[in-house]
């Protein structure tokens, strides 16, 4: 259920509605907006009697939500969510947010070389895996806390915001300690206990689309996080598995406008995992910006052929700098024309 307050409803009236929701054993999610406040109600299994709320002072209307998701929708929050990591690092505010860095943190030297270029390119976010989900149990699985410490030093040295993946619930505390944003990987998109755990985090969440997930399943995964009270979520399209053999995954760029039609959450495009081939990364990054993404995720390595993971899709430092120039030019056209 969704309760829409009158434009001039006061805080006291909002508090009264919240108490009424909680007295029924449900949870109230207060979403202030430019023109009105909406309150999403979760925790009810069946339909709630709308008359409990319709007659409370300040309530404009109580609406039964028939869609499977409630909190991620534009019905609840017509304004777009801006995920703000501080110091001008925002996603969803109309700027182009670039999250770049190596697939995995391999060493201090490797990570710093990439961070230097990422920072000079104007990007505000640095990525790097400390805990890596690998198909083979014998492949490099990340340096764990040592990698997180390197990432924290990169934040201090370069002023970049740190994005890193939590692979399971037991990693979340550590990622929270060192990073600025928690990545949930494609393989974990429906790890519901992990989603609930990051839903209780103070850090924003970057939620990748599962490689076989429908749009609805992906949005419901975001709903899991929001239902726990964490409203700072960025969706990341990273390609889905198809029969194509010319790419690692098929980057579903149509997901960007599809998400934007339903949800207020920002959505970015991962052109690295979305293609798996470095020569395709820049063209698909350009396309991602053109289709209206709020940002990009890009993997970068000084020596891709020596990378311990995902080298085939990593841009070199020079290729990365060139890509930033190209996507920035496209973003200017898009932003200027208000697409
Ligand atoms: C990654 O970002 O390095 C990663 C493992 O991504 P995904 O979960 O999309 O495969
Ligand atoms: Mn990777």
With CA atoms as reference, report the closest residue to 278 among 299, 302, 293.
Answer: 299
Which residue from 247, 270, 281 has its CB within 8 A of the most atoms of ligand 1, so it is best to mutate? 270
In this predicted model, what pLDDT tens digit does every residue of 46-63 receive, in sequence order? 888 898 899 999 999 999
Ligand 1 midpoint to CA 196 (Å): 20
pLDDT digits (tens, 9 = 90+) for 114-141: 999 999 999 999 999 999 999 999 999 9
Model pLDDT, residue 47: 84
**pLDDT (0 to 100) of residue 191:** 98
- The whole-number pLDDT of residue 316 equals 98
Per-residue model confidence (pLDDT) at position 162:
99
Q: Report the nearest atom of ligand 1 relative to the CA of 309.
A: 3
Give the least confident one: 8-22, 39-53, 74-88, 309-323: 39-53
Q: Is the pLDDT of residue 66 over 90?
A: no
Q: What is the pLDDT of residues 224-256, one digit of tens each?
A: 999 999 999 999 999 999 999 999 999 999 999
Q: Does residue 240 line the site of ligand 1, with CB under 6 A?
A: no
The secondary structure element, H or E, covering residue 233 is strand 233-237
Angle at 254 between CA 250 and CA 257, to 5 degrees: 150
Q: Per-residue confidence at 112, pLDDT binned at 50, 70, 90? A: very high
Whether the CB of 185 sits within 6 Å of ligand 1? yes
Establish whether residue 273 lines the binding site of ligand 1, counting it when its CB lies within 6 angstroms of any ligand atom: yes
Report if pTM > 0.95: yes
Q: What span, in angstroms and rounded, lies between the C-alpha atoms of 129 and 7? A: 45
CA of 288 to the centre of ligand 1 (A): 17
Summarize the confidence of residues 322-334 as an average pLDDT: 97
CA angle 182, 195, 179 (to 5 degrees): 15
- At residue 141, φ and ψ (nearest 5 deg) are -110, 10
pLDDT value of residue 315: 99
Shortest-distance atom of ligand 1 to CA 310: 3
What contacts 17, CB < 8 A, 6 or more positions away?
3, 5, 28, 39, 53, 56, 58, 59
Instruction: Report the chain's mean pLDDT, rounded to a whole number.
Output: 97
pLDDT for residue 65 is more than 80: yes
Q: Indicate whether residue 5 lines ligand 1 (CB < 6 A).
A: no
Residue 305 main-chain phi, psi, to 5 deg? -70, -15
C-alpha 296 to ligand 2 mean position (Å)? 14
- Give just the sign of the alpha carbon dihedral 159, 229, 64, 190: positive
State the average pLDDT over residues 179-208: 98
């Amino acid at each position: 259920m969704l309760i829409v307050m009158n434009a001039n409803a006061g805080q006291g009236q909002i508090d009264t509605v919240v108490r009424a929701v909680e007295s029924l054993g449900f949870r109230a999610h207060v979403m202030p907006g430019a023109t009105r406040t909406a309150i999403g109600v979760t925790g009810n299994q069946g339909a709630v009697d709308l008359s409990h709320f319709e007659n409370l002072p300040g309530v404009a209307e109580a609406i039964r939500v028939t869609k499977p998701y409630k909190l991620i929708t534009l019905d609840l929050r017509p304004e777009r969510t801006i995920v703000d990591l501080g110091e001008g690092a925002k996603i969803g505010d109309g700027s182009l947010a670039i999250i770049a860095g190596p697939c995995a943190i391999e060493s201090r030297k490797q990570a710093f070389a990439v961070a230097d270029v990422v920072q000079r390119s104007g990007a505000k976010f640095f990525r790097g895996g400390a805990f890596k989900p690998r198909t083979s149990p014998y492949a490099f699985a990340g340096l764990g806390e040592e990698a997180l410490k390197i990432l924290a030093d990169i934040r201090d040295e370069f002023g970049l915001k740190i994005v890193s993946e939590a692979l399971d619930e037991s990693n979340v505390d550590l990622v929270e300690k060192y990073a600025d944003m928690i990545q949930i990987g494609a393989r974990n998109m429906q790890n519901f206990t992990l989603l609930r755990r990051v839903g209780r985090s103070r850090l924003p969440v970057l939620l990748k689309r599962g490689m076989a997930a429908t749009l609805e399943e992906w949005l419901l995964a975001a709903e899991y996080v929001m239902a726990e009270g964490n409203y700072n979520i960025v969706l990341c399209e990273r390609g889905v598995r198809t029969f194509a053999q010319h790419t690692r995954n098929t980057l579903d760029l149509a997901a960007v406008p599809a998400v934007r039609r339903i949800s207020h959450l920002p959505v970015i495009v991962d052109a690295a995992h979305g293609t798996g081939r470095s020569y395709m990364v820049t063209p698909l990054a350009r396309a991602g910006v053109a289709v209206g993404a709020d940002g990009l995720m890009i993997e970068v390595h000084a020596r891709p052929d020596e990378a311990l993971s995902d080298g085939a899709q990593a841009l070199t430092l020079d290729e990365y700098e060139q890509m930033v120039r190209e996507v920035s030019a496209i973003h200017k056209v898009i932003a200027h024309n208000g697409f």
